[in-house]
Amino acid sequence: MALAKFHCLTCEKEFEAGNWKCGSGEDHVVAEKTYYVRDAPTDKRDCKHARLQMLNLIPESKVILGGETHIVPGTHVEFIRGQYATCNPQLQMALDKRKGVFWGKEAEAQWKEDYLSDDEKVRMRDINQKALIARLENERNSLLQQVQDKARKSA
């Protein structure tokens, strides 16, 4: 099985899983990825307070430095209201393998269905419509300005 490959935003280099540090010694940073879990409470009023902890997502490890053994604690993540975002490639790889953890457009749509109340869905739809109208007005004004500039030049 081939090792997962990532692109670091800090050092701008490709790297494989297991090589979690840049040449400078700092941790690699990759594009942010948002993960979703389907653990929404049945009562939508409780969704705003929903939290899920995944303990030891990356298990603790032992590192030998200068002849001494040091224990590196495991890494925990907390999904707040069913979502968690990270730029850490090691966490992304662990979450990609985890059952019950989803990402992508379909997962986001399902999350909205599970977590958002009807009022929140209406508010989000209104916000999206207002943003679309503003974008269309800006495009229209830009096109109008271009036509007016062209008419002035030819006059």
- The answer to whether the beta carbons of residues 38 and 114 sit under 8 Å apart is yes
Cα–Cα distance measured from residue 21 to residue 8, given in angstroms and rounded to the nearest whole number? 10
* pLDDT the model gives residue 42: 67
* pLDDT the model gives residue 81: 87
Gyration radius (Cα) of the chain, Å: 23
φ, ψ of residue 103 to 5 degrees: the values are: -150, 165
* Mean pLDDT in order along the chain per 10 residues (155 residues): 82 88 88 90 71 90 89 92 93 93 92 84 90 94 91 83
State the pTM of this model: 0.72
Domain ranges of the chain: 32-116, 118-155
* pLDDT the model gives residue 44: 67
* pLDDT the model gives residue 48: 72
